[in-house]
Amino acid sequence: MNAAFQVDTSTAVLLALFGLAGGIGITAVGPGGVLPTIGMFLFTGLSPATVAGTAIATHVATGALGTAAYVRSGQLRDPATRRAALLLCATALVGTPLGVLLNRAVEGRAFGVLLAAAVTVTALLTWIRERRVRRAGDDGTAPVRLPARLAAPLGLVVSTAAGLFGLGGPMLSVPLLILCGLPVLPALAVAQAQSVVIASLGTVGYLLGGDVNWPLAALIGVPELIGVLIGWKIARRVPAQRLKTALIAMLLLVAPYLAFHS
């Protein structure tokens, strides 16, 4: 059924734009990987498992590219940031398969309600994060050590949610890492590394159930990769306040529609 699935031209363009915007959000502000999931859930009529499986497959490449970008710009060469990334990657080995299993028990309407709740929480966390960053006067670059007692539960929650909804991880991990004290750029870097593990394990899990639509993953994933590079440049060179505000507003506006979409 997945192999025969087709989308018309207007839907294809719309999904590609969701991928592009999602990629920009992933590396510029963190919460962006949810956009491909939202797009497929709203416009394709696919099952929750196929939506999540196809979305998470795109994040293998975006996570690898984002990780390489933050290695190049130096954040993932810092020992404290690299340690935090390894801690979150380790917890993803447990949380991601758990999320994939949970997805099997969720029907379409319930998936929409849960996705709406996750989107709302993400928007609120992003707003809280911005208030904290501005109040602290954080320049977004200084490395901070993340204690294991915080990293373990945070990584488990993020990777479980990511496996359930088909996310790479930065959507939740970046706001939560900043709330735990990490500056913006190290938090973004850690989230990219974690997303490689989440996306790889999640893709395998959904593949076992035949729930990855590869043509659709390519349609969304290629623009998403372009967006990752654009977002990385924004994060390093351009004040992203307007982008973050727009993302928060968009997430809050779309959440009710997700909850009631059948």
- Average pLDDT of the chain to the nearest whole number: 83
What is residue 132's predicted lDDT score, i.e. its pLDDT?
65
Checking if the pLDDT of 2 tops 60, the result is no
CA 163 – CA 96 distance, rounded (Å): 5
Which tops the pLDDT comparison, 107 or 116?
A: 116
Per-residue pLDDT of 25-51, as tens digits, reads 877 776 777 889 889 988 998 999 999
Please report which confidence band the pLDDT of residue 3 belongs to, taking 50, 70 and 90 as the band edges. Answer: very low
Where along the chain do its domains lie? Answer: 9-260
For the cut 70, the answer to whether the pLDDT of residue 137 exceeds it is no
Please state which of the ranges 59-63, 163-167, 237-241 shows the lowest mean pLDDT: 237-241
**pTM attached to this predicted model:** 0.80
Name residue 105's amino acid. Answer: A
Confidence of residue 117 (pLDDT cuts 50, 70, 90): confident
* Residue 243 pLDDT > 70: no
Report which of residues 226 and 114 the model is more confident about. Answer: 226
Asked if residue 147 has pLDDT above 60, the reply is yes
User: What ranges in the chain are assigned the alpha helix state H?
Assistant: 9-28, 34-43, 48-72, 79-104, 108-136, 148-165, 170-179, 184-208, 214-237, 241-260
Would you put residue 78 in left (φ > 0), alpha (ψ -120 to 50) or beta? beta
Two structure tokens written together for 68: 């390489």
The amino acid at 230: I
